[in-house]
Structure 1
Amino acid sequence: MPDTVSRPFHIYLVRHANAAWPEPGCRDFDRRLDSRGREEATRLAEMMADAGYHPGHVFCSPAARCRETLEILKSTLAADPVIEFHQPLYSELYDAYLDVIARHAESVGGPLMIVGHNPMMEETACALLDRSATPSSQVLPHGFPTAGLLAVESNSSEKPAIAGHGRLLALLSPLEG
């Protein structure tokens, strides 16, 4: 299958902001952001606006903490992106994240943001990056931070080609900004 992406496209991987510990009887899926998480997401939204990161399409885990993170981030986006809540981003492994990226690249293209969870977010980042150019241990030496955004550029739409060929653009973290 020929490569269908004619120019590089950007992938923004966003780990949800800090979530409250679960209350007794509360499902993990229903955990919401705590006050620190809301502050982190607000700061990341400002950082995204300053960097000019405006995704045209967003895939988001349907878990409450991801939806809440996205709601805060949307407040600073230049245009209304297409938003899809995608259950596999909550319930499956990082391969589901790579599937979303490959499907988007083949059919839509343009800047894509995924709002999801660790460890899948970190594993997706490691799978995307060209390890010969930037070892993932240097990019995420302490793991993927809450409300962190990893910006990656890819030239390919095919899933096998996406993995291991992404170029690191930036890591934004409200914890360091």
Structure 2
Amino acid sequence: MTKRLILMRHAKSDWGSPDLADHDRPLNKRGRASAPAMADWLREQGYVPDRILCSSAVRTQQTAERMLPRWDTEVAVHTSGDLYLASPERILNSICSDSADADCVMVLAHNPGMQTLVSHLSEENFAFPTAAVAVFELDIDDWSQWRPNEQTRCVAFQRPKAL
């Protein structure tokens, strides 16, 4: 069986309020536009997730909220503080433990962890700008069986500016 993993960095956030904690920064105008554009691209490519593992930061949650209405199917969203500014190892642990029985899982989180993980899994050095998406196929039956790189193929990469 093949599972699909979508790694996405949150859309562009607003730095206009210096007193706002990093965790609480919302999306800016460009981010509010790029999130649905990326959702449309994912839908057109046939990459709509069954489940989203989302950082608890405001900007990641707002990214998910702007994407969900663009899909014709209900997508379960699991919000986790563990994904806020998470290391690649922590992201991998979340994927293996929180993906349940989903066939296509999206992780919506932050750099530098996401860029490092995408580069590691693809075995290429990717720049991973805001709202970028990398799609991987995994030759596994169950998420707990996944051994990164052994069973992992990068099948797509997209960023908003390329649309």
TM-score normalised over the length of structure 2: 0.90
Task: Give the letter for the 2:110 counterpart.
Answer: H
Task: Give the letter for the 1:125 counterpart.
Answer: V
Q: Does 1:28 align with 2:28?
A: no
Please list every run of at least 4 consecutive aligned residues from structure 1 whose deviation after the TM superposition is greater than 6 angstroms.
Answer: none
Q: Which has the larger radius of gyration?
A: 1
Task: Give the letter for the 1:69 counterpart.
Answer: T
Q: Does 1:154 align with 2:138?
A: yes
My pick for the range that moved more, 161-170 or 67-76, is 161-170
Does structure 2 retain, via aligned residues, the 8 Å contact 1:125–1:150?
yes
Query: Among 67, 77, 80, which residue is 2:74 paired with?
Result: 80
Output aligned runs, 1:58-137, within 5 Å.
58-104=52-98, 107-129=100-122, 131=123, 136-137=124-125
Task: Indicate the RMSD between aligned Cα atoms, in angstroms.
Answer: 1.8
Q: Which residue of 2 aligns with 1:171?
A: 157
CA distance in 1, matches of 2:93, 2:133: 19
CA distance in 2, matches of 1:22, 1:61: 21
CA distance in 2, matches of 1:22, 1:29: 14
Give the match's secondary structure for 2:129. Answer: coil
Does structure 2 retain, via aligned residues, the 8 Å contact 1:128–1:164?
no
Q: Structure 1: where are the runs of 5+ without partners? A: 1-6
Closer, same or farther: CA 160–108 of 1 in aligned 2, 3 Å:
closer
CA distance in 1, matches of 2:65, 2:110: 16
Closer, same or farther: CA 90–68 of 1 in aligned 2, 3 Å:
same
Task: Give the letter for the 1:116 counterpart.
Answer: A
Task: Give the letter for the 1:152 counterpart.
Answer: F
Task: Give the letter for the 2:161 counterpart.
Answer: L
Equivalent residue pairs, number: 161
TM-score normalised over the length of structure 1: 0.83
Q: Structure 2: where are the runs of 5+ without partners? A: none
Q: Percent identity?
A: 26
Closer, same or farther: CA 159–19 of 1 in aligned 2, 3 Å:
farther
